[in-house]
Structure 1
């Protein structure tokens, strides 16, 4: 197949291709007579064939001038042919290795190199994307795309009510979607980065999987950081220091939303392909996300998600959630990522969200006052938010002020207050929320 795709190609040997594989392609590493290493890829299904066609357009659009702007290599198409009704593509091989998201160390090194690589992608001119007909979305269109995924997932009746409300509130928040679209890779994951060892340590020398290249929400290229633990802060710091764009104060919140919406896309992929195994897996992950949502009410996706529900109200919502059974789906938006790694999603949603920092929210005084006029005894006290430098700091400060007790039974919900922390807030050591409203420009 390779010799039919590349003229005068002489192959001396072949072996397995180690990185960037997803199971959607049959791939092999080739050694040629002129001492070159090439990769041959044959799509294993229709979705992979479609992705490969888009990637060919993207790679051909990345001219020598565009590639010179990047601090890493991008695969080059050497040749292509056809076999058994599908396309065979031969690429040059980018030597190196990949690491799992959870294994990326914090600090200078891999994390900072990844952040700089992402910033370089986002600094590319958007004109070359539009010229070849790849998607060129506005901020409003990115928002509508997210809404479409949410609505389709909700239409399956397999989406937990608490998760649907969390996503819908985020999609409805105007401040969350005020950003400048940039060129994005579109399907970045830890496996996308090819690393090699240098004197200064491992650095990014290549990026794979360009089938989702477009102009869109830069937060899409950061959603995978949810599974990197402490390294996420290092990647983000390097990204911001290398970025030439105005800082987006709600970038992290949107990246968390996109990370969670990957579960919706996985569910829709299962429904569209009528694969009950995928549907059951997606439902299981969404059920796990419910615990994540309820355990992170102090870290909302949007700074204006409204008042927090009482525990009894949440339990009542969950009881009304449809059972996890298959529903005949509709076609349309499917899985929009180049790969799916269930272990990474489990890492994301099996722990608290560490990336959502500074979740400032406007006071809901008017709503509580109206409720008090109707029934003074029905007033519910909302959570006390502490503005910190990061989510870890926020969680720590919050735990100093509120120590929640009780259970989910009829005994109710009580809280003990640490008045020393409240006195610190009144003295000005902690900035009140009403003086730190979210901004859509610089952080």
Structure 2
């Protein structure tokens, strides 16, 4: 049974020293419905979110999020053009814990409602670029995960192999993914700081610009394309194009293959959905995943823009190569 907002308010007062609650109200229960949540207004006008995980997965996610929020120091946050919530306190409850965060303001973003062109899409692109230009040193200092291009490729191949073992993935897709995994040029990238779990719901917006980013449990050093693939699920391809153009402009990136890797990760999400259904022995999920995979075959076979192979033209200029090496060295030294 879900905890009431009044119960959660009482837990918040135990978690935060000196907190006096003036008002409490139920709050959205999170992406997967795995939290009991409430928004709290204190007597001094401040707002907080209190959350209690209701599953082991959510508890692990919340723990990872707390580690990441602590790693995001004042100096690191000052480099970001949006707000990030702060940990305010915690208290034990029923074998888990209630965690209180400072409230961050903004309206939730829905993928299907992002307009193409200058505005929210480009603001999202610039926000992601700001994350990716953070120094990797603070990730190392916090003991957060670091993945090399080889690690990322190996993880992708593992998903492909497991999906292939179900005998439910169309042969055309398996061949497409195998060719991508063998394209060495596709995997030549400089790992960056990534959020690691971005979706449209990660962003809050105000006035058509990103005001906050929530959910940092996947913070790590990894392939920057992992923070971009979700944009390809927008109803209009122009949304992803607008965001990616703004992203590339903000970063001054020379990663010519980032769009192709993002597309591959987007396709592998369907493989993950299939594997989830198989693991749960849920025929409804499996059937849905199979239908989506077959739909993907039709889409990629009839659209040359869905190509996964690396871009061979134009060849990188010497100054671009030097810029990429300088960026890597700068991240290592920061």
Please confirm whether the aligned pair reaches a TM-score higher than 0.5, indicating the same fold.
yes
Could you give the per-residue CA deviations for residues 207-226 of structure 1, whole angstroms, max 9, x where no partner exists? 01111111000111110121
CA distance in 1, matches of 2:45, 2:172: 57
Which residue is 1:155 aligned to?
165
> Paired residue for 2:33?
23
Matched, 1:185 2:195: yes
Residue 47 of structure 2, aligned match among 29, 37, 54? 37
Instruction: Deviation per CA, 1:226-273: give whole Å up to 9, x if none.
Output: 1232122221121111115x4111111110001111112222333344
Mapped to 2, the partners of 1:280 and 1:82 lie a distance apart of 41
Partner of 2:214: 208
> Partners of 1:237 and 1:213 in 2: how far apart?
23
Unaligned runs of 5+ in 1: 304-358, 361-435
Residues 119, 242 of structure 1: 8 Å contact kept = yes
Aligned to 2:263: 256
Equivalent-residue separation in structure 2 for 1:279 and 1:44 (angstroms): 26
Which structure features the higher share of helix residues?
Answer: 2
Quick check: 1:95–1:194 contact (8 Å CA) kept in 2? yes
Higher relative contact order (CA 8 A, sep 6+): 2
Cα deviation 1:282-310 (Å, max 9, x = unaligned): 2332232222233235632114xxxxxxx
Query: Take 1:101 and 1:242, find their aligned partners in 2: how far apart are those partners?
Result: 22
Structure 2 residue 233 is matched with structure 1 residue 231 = no
Cα distance in 2, alignment partners of residues 271 and 104 from structure 1 = 33
In the TM superposition, residue 7 of structure 1 has moved relative to its aligned partner by 2.7
**Contact 1:175-1:439 within 8 A present in 2 as well:** no
1:287 and 2:294 equivalent? Answer: yes
Please give the alpha-carbon distance, in whole angstroms, between the structure 1 residues aligned to 2:38 and 2:188.
Answer: 44
Q: CA RMSD in A?
A: 2.2
Contact 1:3–1:10 (8 Å) recurs in 2: yes
Distance, in Å, in 2 between the alignment partners of 1:169 and 1:134 is: 31
Deviations 1:172-221 (A, max 9, x none): 11010011110011111111111112xxxx21110011111110001111
Higher CA-based Rg: 1
| Partner of residue 92, structure 1 | 102
Query: Distance in 2 between the 1:174 and 1:36 partners?
Result: 52
Q: What does residue 92 of structure 2 align with?
A: 82
TM-score, normalisation: structure 1 = 0.65
TM (normalized to structure 2)?
0.85
The Cα of 1:73 is off from its aligned counterpart by: 0.7
Match in the other structure for 1:106 = 116
Please give the secondary structure, in 1, of the residue aligned with 2:58. Answer: helix
CA deviations 1:357-381 (Å, max 9, x no partner) are xx66xxxxxxxxxxxxxxxxxxxxx
Once the two structures are superposed, what CA deviation does each residue of 1:299-345 show, in whole Å capped at 9, x if it has no partner?
Answer: 32114xxxxxxxxxxxxxxxxxxxxxxxxxxxxxxxxxxxxxxxxxx
Quick one: structure 1 residues 4 and 177, their matched pair in 2 at CA, closer, same or farther if it must change by over 3 Å? same
- 5 Å matches for 1:34-433? 34-197=44-207, 202-228=208-234, 229=236, 230-244=238-252, 246-296=253-303, 299-303=306-310
In the TM superposition, what is the alpha-carbon distance from 1:4 to its structure 2 partner?
Answer: 2.6
Is contact 1:20-1:191 (8 Å) kept?
Answer: no
Mapped to 2, the partners of 1:64 and 1:78 lie a distance apart of 15
